Amino acid sequence: MTLHTPKITGAQGRPVIRQLDEAAINRIAAGEVVERPASAVKELVENALDAGASRIQVDIADGGKTLIRVTDDGCGMTAGDLPLALSRHATSKIDGSDLLDIRSFGFRGEALPSLGAVGRLTITSRADGDAAQITCEASRLSPVKPAALTRGTVVELRDLFFATPARLKFLRSDRAELQAVTDCIRRLAMAEPLVGFTLRDVTGGDTRTLFRADPASGDLFDALQSRLSGVIGRDFTDNALRIDAERDGLRLQGYAALPTYSRGSSAQQYLFVNGRPVLDRMLYGALRAAYFDVLSRDRHPAAVLNLIADPQRVDVNVHPAKAEVRFREPDAARSLIITALKSALTGAGHRASSTVGAATLQAFRPEAARVYQMDRPSQPSLSRAFAFQAPQGFAEAPQARLDDTPAEATVDHPLGAARAQLHENYIVAQTATGMVIVDQHAAHERLVYERLKRQQAETGIRAQALLIPEIVDLSPTDAARLLDAAPALAEVGLGIEPFGGSAIAIRETPAILGPVNGEALIRDILDELADAGDSQLVRAKIDAILSRMACHGSVRSGRQMRPEEMNALLREMEATPLSGQCNHGRPTYVQLSLHDIERLFGRR
C-alpha cells in the first residue's frame, strides 16, 4: 500500500519550502523529549538535581495527565531568568563550546519550552531576592509577576498534551502511567542517595504517598546500601556484593547480587553512567556476559552499577531522552564490567544467597505453632540430664560422636562437619551456629566443572583441523566484522581466514565441540557481535560442553558416601569459588541457623 502525502505546491507545481512557525517547532521538539508523563517527570526532576536540590517532592494526578508538580529546595531562579528558561536552547548547564564535556543531567535547554508547548506550565522560583512566577500555555508566555515562595522552585504542569490532543490517544491507563512515573523516581533515587525524594498521588484531592526516600548519610557505599535497602529491599542488599573496580581510567561502583539471588526477569537491573540512568544495550550485554557461566538462560542477575568515566570519553547526546550513551572505547567499558563482576563473584567463594535458607524455613514452617520461651542449658547441665535419663546399665558418654566420623572434621569450618547422608543425595552437616544441607550431585558437579575449566586455561583449547575447509558466503560488512574478531576466535579454537570476495573459510573448530555446523556457528557469532560488540558464543559453547562433562563425572544421586568423602566434599566446596551454586545457578546447599531451627519447634 502506498501512502500519498499532500504537498504544498507553488505556481510551477513544485513543493514549496517554508519556515514553520515557533509553536509548530516547539510541538515537534516536545514530541521527541516528552513521550509520556514519566518523561516530563524525568526532565523536571533532573533539572531540580542540577539546581543542587537536597529534597524533591513530586505530586501527580491522573497518572500525570492532568497534573505534575515538582517542588525542590535548589538554588532557584530570578525574575529575569524565568522568560529565558522558557526559550528554546537556553540553558545554564553548558556554554556551547564543548558538547562532549557534559557534567549535568540536562544541557540542551529543550525540556521547559517543550513542556510549555504541549501543556499549561507554571514556574514559581526564588533565588536571592523575591520570588517570581511565569506561565506558558501552548508556547504563549505571560508576563512575570511576583509570587510567594520561601526557597527553591515549583514547576507545575497541567493538562499535558492539551495542545496536541492526538498524543493523548497514545497514552496508557492512569495506573500504567503512574507505574512508569514511580519507576522513573526510583531510578533517580538510586542515582542520588544523598537526596530525599517523595512521590505523591493527589488525584481527586486525596493525597497518597507512593514513594519516599529520605536523604541517606555516610560514605558513598553506606549511603547507596541504605538507599537500595529502601528502594529494592533488604533481600537484595543482604545478598549483593560490593563492586569497586578501576581500569584504563574507568571506574565501576555499586552492588551486584549473588547468582543464587537471580530473578525471573531483568527488572532488578539498574545501570548508570556518571550517575545518569541509561538503557544501553552494550552495558546490559556486558552484565549478562559476566554471569553467563553461573546462570541458566531463563534467569537474570540483579545489579545496581554506576560506570564513571571522563565526560570527554562518553557521548550522552545521541538520544533525545538521553537514555543511551556512546563510549569512545566501548571495549574498555565492557571489559571492566565483565572482569569486575567475575572477580567479585569468584571472591565470594562458596557463598550462597540467604534467601535460599529463608525459603527452606518457609517450607518447613507449620501454619500455626505455639511459642515456648526456653533457655538453652549449659553443657554440664546437659551431661547430668543425659546421665539421669540413660537406661540402667548404660554409661553416658560425655559427647556423642559418629564412630566413623574423622576426628579432624570439626564444626568450625564454614560448612561444618558431615553428620549424615539422607536419601543417598543430601549431606547433613553440623556447623558452629546451625546446620547445612548439601545436594551432593549439584555441589560435586560445580567442583568438577571448575576443575575442567582450570585445566582448559592451563593447556589451552585444542583445535581440530578440518579435512575440507568449510566456506561461508557473507556480506562484506559481516565478513569484515568477523575477520576483525579472528584473533579472539582463534584463542578458543575457531580458525577462520578470508577466502576471496566476502567469503570466509573455516579451517579449524574447537575439538571439544566435536562435529559442528560451521555456517550456523558463524552466523550465531555474527549475531552476538552485532548485539554485544564481541563474541562469547564459542566460549559459552565450550563451557556448556565442560558442564555436561562435569555432570557425567560428578558424584551421582543415589550413591552412598563415606564420612571422609562427605567431609572432603565440604572442604573442597569451601576452597572453590562459585561452589554455592550449580552450573545452572541453583543453590548447592541450604544453611539454617540454630536460632531458626529452634523457632520451627516453637522454642523461640
pLDDT in tens, 574-588: 999 889 988 777 889
> CB of 59 within 8 A of CB of 67?
yes
% of the chain exceeding 90 in pLDDT: 43
Q: Which residue has the cell 516536545?
A: 30
Q: Are 157 and 289 within one domain?
A: no
Give the position of cell 514519566. 38
b/e sequence 153-182, b meaning 16+ C-beta within 10 Å: bbbbbbebbbbbeebeeebeebeebbebbb
Based on the fold, state whether residues 331 and 415 are members of the same structural domain.
Answer: no
By the 8 A CB rule, do 78 and 35 touch?
Answer: no
- Are residues 493 and 521 in contact, defined by beta-carbon separation less than 8 angstroms? no
* CATH classification at residue 39: 3.30.565.10
Taking 90 as the threshold, does the pLDDT of residue 525 lie above it?
Answer: no
Q: What is the rounded end-to-end Cα distance, in angstroms, of the chain? A: 74
The predicted-structure confidence for 305-363, as pLDDT tens digits, reads as follows 999 998 888 887 666 566 778 888 888 999 999 999 999 998 888 887 777 767 776 76
| Among candidate residues 151, 181, 212, the one where a domain is terminated | 212
d(C-alpha 33, C-alpha 113), whole Å: 10
In a domain, 11, yes or no: no
**Residue 395: predicted pLDDT:** 43
Q: Above 50 in pLDDT, residue 77?
A: yes
Same domain? For 106 and 62 the reply is: yes
What integer pLDDT is reported at residue 203 of this predicted model? Answer: 94
pLDDT at residue 324, as a whole number:
76
For residues 288 and 354, membership in a common domain is answered with no
Q: Is the pLDDT of residue 402 over 50?
A: no
321 shares its domain with 362: no
Please report whether residue 396 resides in a domain: no
**Could you give the CA distance from residue 426 to residue 557 in angstroms, rounded to a whole number?**
9
Spatial separation of the C-alpha atoms in residues 308 and 276, rounded to whole Å: 10
Residue 513 DSSP code = G
* Residues 157 and 233 both lie in one domain: no
Grid cell of 384 as nine digits: 547430668
Q: Give the HSE-up count for residue 496: Cα atoms under 13 Å, Cβ half-sphere.
A: 26
**Helix, strand, or coil (residue 334):** helix
Cβ contact 77:153 at 8 Å: yes
Residue 7 lies in a domain: no
- Say yes or no: 448 and 596 in one domain: yes
CB 588 within 8 A of CB 446: yes
Query: Three-state secondary structure along 528-580?
Result: HHHHHCCCCHHHHHHHHHHHHHHHHHCCCCCCCCCHHHHHHHHHHHHHCCCCC
For residue 394, being part of any structural domain is answered with no
pLDDT band, very low/low/confident/very high, at 293 (cuts 50, 70, 90): confident
Strands 55-61 vs 196-201: parallel, antiparallel or unpaired = parallel
Over residues 241-265, mean pLDDT? 93
Phi, psi of 113 (to 5 degrees): -65, -30
Same domain, 201 and 227: no
Centroid of chain to Cα 390 = 58
390 within some domain: no
Q: What is the DSSP letter of 137?
A: E
Query: Exposed (0-12), middle (13-18) or buried (19+): which is 183, by Cβ within 10 Å?
Result: middle
Helix (H, G, I), strand (E, B) or coil at 254: strand
Answer whether 147's CB lies under 8 Å from 42's CB. Answer: no
| 8 A C-beta contact, residue 526 and residue 486 | no
Q: Does 179 map to a domain?
A: yes
State which residues form the domain around 100: 22-212
Three cell numbers at 385? 540430664
Task: Judge whether 10 lies within some domain.
Answer: no
How far apart are the C-alpha atoms of 112 and 68, rounded to whole Å? 13
pLDDT band, very low/low/confident/very high, at 28 (cuts 50, 70, 90) = low
Over the stretch 412-459, which tens digit does the pLDDT of each residue have?
899 999 999 999 899 999 999 999 999 999 898 888 888 878 877 887
Determine whether 450 is exposed, middle or buried from the number of CB atoms within 10 Å of its CB (0-12, 13-18, 19+): buried
CB 563 within 8 A of CB 401: no
Hey, what amino acid is at 562?
Answer: R
Which pTM value belongs to this model?
0.74
- Chain centroid to Cα 197, Å, comes to 21
Mean pLDDT score of the chain, rounded to an integer?
82
Could you tell me how far CA 424 lies from the centroid of its own chain? 38
Cα 119 to Cα 113: distance, rounded to the nearest angstrom? 10
Distance separating alpha carbons of residues 527 and 88, to the nearest angstrom: 41
Are 46 and 166 within one domain?
Answer: yes
**Mean pLDDT value across residues 466-489:** 89
Q: Are residues 320 and 415 in the same domain?
A: no
Which pLDDT score, from 0 to 100, does residue 389 have? 44
Q: Pick from 146, 179, 212: which residue ends a domain?
A: 212
Pairing label, strands 240-247, 250-257: antiparallel
Instruction: Please report, for residues 195, 428, 429, the alpha-carbon distance to residue 408 in angstroms, rounded to integers and kept in the order given.
Output: 53, 17, 14
Chain position carrying cell 578501576:
246
| Pick from 237, 246, 258: nearest CA to 307 | 246
φ/ψ region of 275 (left if φ > 0, alpha if ψ in -120 to 50, else beta) reads left
- Distance from C-alpha of 180 to C-alpha of 36, rounded to nearest angstrom: 9
Grouping H, G, I as helix, E, B as strand and the rest as coil, residue 313 is helix
Boundary (domain end) residue, out of 183, 212, 241: 212
- Measure the CA–CA gap between 232 and 224, rounded to whole angstroms: 11
If asked whether residues 190 and 293 sit together in one domain, one would say no
Confirm whether 30 is domain-assigned: yes
When divided into structural domains, the chain yields a total of 3
CATH of the domain at 263: 3.30.230.10
Nearest-angstrom CA–CA distance, 50 and 105: 7
Determine the average pLDDT of the residues in 481-498: 85
Q: What is the CA radius of gyration of the chain?
A: 31
437: CATH = 3.30.1540.20
Cβ burial 47-65 (10 Å sphere, 16+ → b, else e): bbbbbebebbbbbbbbbbb
Residues 50 and 103 in one domain: yes
The pLDDT tens digits of the residues spanning 192-249 come to: 999 999 999 999 989 999 999 999 988 889 999 999 999 999 999 999 999 999 998 9
